[in-house]
Amino acid sequence: MKPGVYQATKKDGTVYYRGNITYNGKHISIGSFSTEAKCNKAYNEAWSIIKNEDITILNLQNKIKELPFDKCITLINFRDNHIYIKTPIYLQRNYFLYYLDKTTILKFDNDDLFYYSSHKIQYRGGHMFVSDYGMQYNILGRYGIKPYSVKGKDFLFANGDETDFRYSNIIVVNKYHGVYREEKAGKVIYAAKIHLNGDFIVGRYNSEAKAAIAYNKAVDLCKARGMKKAFPTNFISEYSPREYADIYTEIKISSHLYKFFHNKNFREA
């Protein structure tokens, strides 16, 4: 075998070749290849990156042919910043870049470095997510953005850059299920809505958290009246359990919601 190349066999008997290098005491996998020649070429390209600072992220596509792009990012970052990160991250001074692919570069705060250094971001169906303990999680969830949220309505990118996921750039407009921000005559209020054969106004309130509690109360009413729909509910962090219970008891929800259930022929939402 040529340097850095190791032959391996898949379960179906297919032979393939794994490559690796050792740099600064770190054993680094450079990927798997169909032929020994390709694996050896990738091995030589990896060493070219390590030894030649003229190879940069901007020009590597002209110089690297076999080494996978994500491995190139890892090696360039290791060479320049002296920190090994197995995911395709390049460190900047106060933030880092995550190379989702050759043309999609995401920005994150350093607070997220530990997480994304051990969780690979995947992109499918217009959504970016990570896998954790066998489950898939949309990366927007780290900002308190719900899975059904709509960009431009429930959350915004402050600077208009939809690849900039630094916390200062993410504005969460509606963070609770069934709660919507409204502005009338210069005053901000929060409407609680629930979907019952169409959107149904539960009420309007002076705080987002109280509107979320009102929504929860409406959900409980629906369940108590026999509705089987799996309504999502809100966890309210602003109040202690006792404060929550007091507000829940006192808060008013629309009388029309009670009237809705007086009609025994209502159909499931």
Three-class DSSP category at 114: helix
Boundary-marking domain end, from 84, 100, 128: 84
Provide the number of structural domains found in the chain.
3
Residues 118 and 138 in one domain: yes
Residues 53 and 25 in one domain: yes
pLDDT in tens, 18-29: 999 999 989 999
Boundary-marking domain end, from 84, 105, 137: 84
pTM of the model: 0.76
Among 60, 59, 51, which residue's Cα sits nearest to residue 78?
A: 51
Residues 113 and 79 in one domain: no
pLDDT at 146: 79
Give yes or no for residue 269 having a pLDDT over 50. no
Q: What is the percent of the chain with per-residue pLDDT over 90, rounded to a whole number?
A: 70
> What count of Cα atoms within 13 Å lies in the side-chain half-sphere of residue 178?
29
Residues 183 and 251 in one domain: yes
Give yes or no for residue 70 having a pLDDT over 60. yes
Beta pairing, strands 26-33 & 89-91:
unpaired
Overall average pLDDT of the 222-244 stretch? 90
**Of 4-13, 83-92, 131-140, 237-246, where does the model show the most confidence?**
83-92
Residues 67 and 99 in one domain: no
Residues 140 and 107 in one domain: yes
Overall average pLDDT of the 77-87 stretch? 96
Q: What's CA 44's distance to the chain center, in Å?
A: 35
Residues 131 and 210 in one domain: no
What span, in angstroms and rounded, lies between the C-alpha atoms of 46 and 248? 61
Per-residue confidence band for 3, with pLDDT thresholds at 50, 70 and 90: confident
pLDDT in tens, 49-59: 999 999 999 99
Is 92 or 61 the better-scoring residue by pLDDT? 92
Residues 158 and 197 in one domain: no
| Residue at 161 is within a domain | yes
Residues 236 and 220 in one domain: yes
Give yes or no for residue 262 having a pLDDT over 90. no
What span, in angstroms and rounded, lies between the C-alpha atoms of 10 and 82? 34
What span, in angstroms and rounded, lies between the C-alpha atoms of 174 and 177? 8
pLDDT at 185: 85
| Residue at 269 is within a domain | no
Boundary-marking domain end, from 175, 193, 209: 175
| Residue at 268 is within a domain | no
Overall average pLDDT of the 66-91 stretch? 97
pLDDT at 157: 96
Residues 95 and 71 in one domain: no
Per-residue confidence band for 36, with pLDDT thresholds at 50, 70 and 90: very high
Residues 106 and 79 in one domain: no
pLDDT in tens, 110-138: 999 999 999 999 998 888 999 988 889 99
What span, in angstroms and rounded, lies between the C-alpha atoms of 223 and 240? 24
The residue range of the domain holding 243 is 179-262
Residues 76 and 91 in one domain: no
pLDDT at 97: 98
| Residue at 132 is within a domain | yes
pLDDT in tens, 144-164: 887 778 888 889 999 999 999
